[in-house]
Structure 1
Amino acid sequence: MSENRSKRGLGRGLSALMSDVAESQDASENAAKAADKAVPIEKIEPNPDQPRRDFDEAAMQDLASSIGAKGIIQPLIVRPSPRKSGAYEIVAGERRWRAAQLAKLHDVPVIVREFDDTEVLEVAIIENIQRADLNPVEEAAGYSQLMERFGHTQEKLAQALGKSRSYIANLVRLLGLPDDVLTYLRDGRLSAGHARALITSDDPSGLASQVLKKGLSVRETEKLAKKSAGNIFSDEGKPKKKGSAQKDADTKALEGDLAANLGMKVALNHKPGAENGSMTISYTSLDELDDLCRKLTGS
């Protein structure tokens, strides 16, 4: 698959793929009749590159019970399997396929599409983003994948998905938080509002522990983060050097935006009260450096 293909932008891709996902998700009670065909369940295989790995057992049992009583209302979207003749690979609807097995169904209704590997992954990510039970980290990772792997911008994603650009930008920034804070966010122990407040802190892990221990609200967390940013002492308890002013929230937010779009760490050093400053982009491999050079030169 060529690089141009995987970075093709939003042309044919996202709008048409969004339509297919919506067709699957917004199906009515009679949607099974609109399926292209019914396929034996053993002739359907999951997408090996499916970004969603965790399926809640209790939710799956509930869905299986519903399918056992009413059947599959929303057809699965599949494509002819690239690995096995006569079989189909799931593009969207793996939860329904798994639940159908629990409900001991023999076949499932499907809509067949001729998607390439790139489109299959995009549809899987889009379907995951639109799930109601998605946690903020999963949603942010979906947006990040669409931007980094397929070249979509925050503006174009916002337009296609019916979100604001700031909503997408704020979620993607969360991925810059430490792993322990992201775990709290995945588990629901912290809300996205708490996490956004922690982004501006020099010690988000330490503040997150305080938030959990004291049961602080989002507003209280914001105040705590501002108070922490104003502390004149370093983490070691020594006075900070004169002139080492803390970055404001807007600067850190801009760093997050740039890092999300470049896929690399970005540091902005803007001199207070001046018009000049510097920007540092950090790469971790020569491949990342090559990618950065291509982006900067437009080649």
Structure 2
Amino acid sequence: MSDVAETEKVASAGPVAAERRLPIERISPNPEQPRKRFSETDLADLASSIKEKGIIQPLIVRQLAEDRFEIVAGERRWRAAQIAQLHEIPVIVREFSDTEVLEVAIIENIQRADLNPIEEAAGYRQLMDRFGHTQEKMSEALGKSRSHIANLLRLLTLPEAVLDHVRKGDLSAGHARALVTANDPLRLAQQIIREGLSVRATEALVKKAEAGSEESPGPKRDVSGTEKDADTKALEADLSATLGMKVVLTHRPGQESGQMTLHYGSLEELDDLCRMLGGS
């Protein structure tokens, strides 16, 4: 299903046989496709290859109507085929429900090496929200470490403007991870881009911002004045990644009780939170 180069095993076995060829205008992309950005340069390179060798790996589609089909896997090949001005493309027709189509599309895209980190994180979030997958289950199924999945999910707690910088490549995933704990990530993101800071320099910038001005340095503390330990900070980050919103834990000194504060950024997030707490 992937658009990436075939492994030696698959290559030695030869191209996968298509069940049929369909007019390209009878095929439409999946509107739930997790991948939103396609590199024009990569599409042009693929179109050039298709002109010379054709489409080696058929698209996987499902039938919507008598003469309409929807892409399950292979939208990049479909786009490149249009650039190459092909009239027909090879396909394999399979029966999938709406849920199965989305799940296959997400998993296929996550397994691609060039998926940007925000699209990958959004794919993990969809698998968790819509299919009930846990981080452990995704780790086993996709061959990704749980820490890799958790770190990417934390990125989704950043403001949309910062996420857009990551999507466009202005910031790397490393820059974004450093900004997750910042009080004003957008302002720092703009400074990082403007000054061309490295990830290490970004981490130092965030620590300096957290400590406050030089006149009042010190470690981050909760509202009770108690310094937060590394375990508390890690738990806050894990909960934030799981819920998709900022979580703050406040312990009362010398007691086992405390508070957990959830911060939502929109009414839609509040609705989501109410549904989760209500069990629906």
Q: Does the TM-score normalized on the shorter chain lie above 0.5?
A: yes
Which residue does 1:225 correspond to in 2? 206
Which residue does 2:28 correspond to in 1? 45
Shifted more, 162-171 versus 198-207: the winner is 198-207
Q: Is the 8 A contact 1:24 1:74 kept in 2?
A: no
Q: Is the 8 A contact 1:79 1:89 kept in 2?
A: yes
Which residue does 1:189 correspond to in 2? 170
Aligned positions of 1:1-299 closer than 5 A? 21=1, 26=6, 28=11, 31-81=14-64, 84-231=65-212, 243-244=224-225, 247=228, 250-271=231-252, 275-281=256-262, 284=267, 285=270, 288-294=273-279
Going from structure 1 to structure 2, the CA distance change for 1:88 and 1:280 (only over 3 Å counts) comes to: same
Q: Once the 2 structures are TM-superposed, how far is the Cα of residue 71 of structure 1 from its aligned partner?
A: 0.6
Shifted more, 193-202 versus 267-276: the winner is 267-276
Partner Cα separation in structure 2 for residue 223 and residue 264 of structure 1: 24
Q: Is the 8 A contact 2:60 2:72 kept in 1?
A: yes
Q: Once the 2 structures are TM-superposed, how far is the Cα of residue 143 of structure 1 from its aligned partner?
A: 0.9
Q: Is the 8 A contact 2:121 2:152 kept in 1?
A: yes
Going from structure 1 to structure 2, the CA distance change for 1:258 and 1:242 (only over 3 Å counts) comes to: closer
Give deviations 1:252-287, integer Å, cap 9, x for gaps.
442332233334543211346654322234564456
Q: Is the 8 A contact 1:28 1:74 kept in 2?
A: no
Partner Cα separation in structure 1 for residue 61 and residue 4 of structure 2: 11
Going from structure 1 to structure 2, the CA distance change for 1:179 and 1:248 (only over 3 Å counts) comes to: farther
Three-state SS of the structure 1 residue aligned to 2:95 is coil
Q: Which runs of 5+ in 2 are unaligned?
A: 216-220
Give deviations 1:168-216, integer Å, cap 9, x for gaps.
0001101111223222212222211121111122122222233233332
**What is the letter of the counterpart of residue 17 of structure 2?**
A
Shifted more, 26-35 versus 214-223: the winner is 26-35
Q: Is the 8 A contact 1:63 1:96 kept in 2?
A: yes
Partner Cα separation in structure 2 for residue 230 and residue 178 of structure 1: 21
Partner Cα separation in structure 2 for residue 23 and residue 72 of structure 1: 10
Q: Is the 8 A contact 1:77 1:90 kept in 2?
A: yes
Partner Cα separation in structure 2 for residue 191 and residue 62 of structure 1: 25
Q: Is the 8 A contact 2:34 2:122 kept in 1?
A: no
Q: Once the 2 structures are TM-superposed, how far is the Cα of residue 152 of structure 1 from its aligned partner?
A: 0.7
Q: Once the 2 structures are TM-superposed, how far is the Cα of residue 90 of structure 1 from its aligned partner?
A: 0.8
Partner Cα separation in structure 2 for residue 272 and residue 224 of structure 1: 30
Shifted more, 109-118 versus 26-35: the winner is 26-35
Which residue does 1:9 correspond to in 2? none
Q: Is the 8 A contact 2:249 2:261 kept in 1?
A: yes
Three-state SS of the structure 1 residue aligned to 2:212 is coil
Partner Cα separation in structure 1 for residue 222 and residue 78 of structure 2: 60
TM-score when normalising by structure 1:
0.78
Partner Cα separation in structure 2 for residue 264 and residue 243 of structure 1: 22
Going from structure 1 to structure 2, the CA distance change for 1:67 and 1:293 (only over 3 Å counts) comes to: same
Three-state SS of the structure 2 residue aligned to 1:110 is strand
Partner Cα separation in structure 2 for residue 29 and residue 72 of structure 1: 17
Q: Is the 8 A contact 1:46 1:89 kept in 2?
A: yes
Going from structure 1 to structure 2, the CA distance change for 1:31 and 1:165 (only over 3 Å counts) comes to: same
Q: Once the 2 structures are TM-superposed, how far is the Cα of residue 78 of structure 1 from its aligned partner?
A: 0.9
Across the aligned residues of Structure 1 and Structure 2, the Cα RMSD in angstroms comes to 3.0
Which residue does 1:5 correspond to in 2? none
Q: Once the 2 structures are TM-superposed, how far is the Cα of residue 23 of structure 1 from its aligned partner?
A: 10
**What is the letter of the counterpart of residue 18 of structure 2?**
A
Q: Which runs of 5+ in 1 are unaligned?
A: 1-20, 235-239
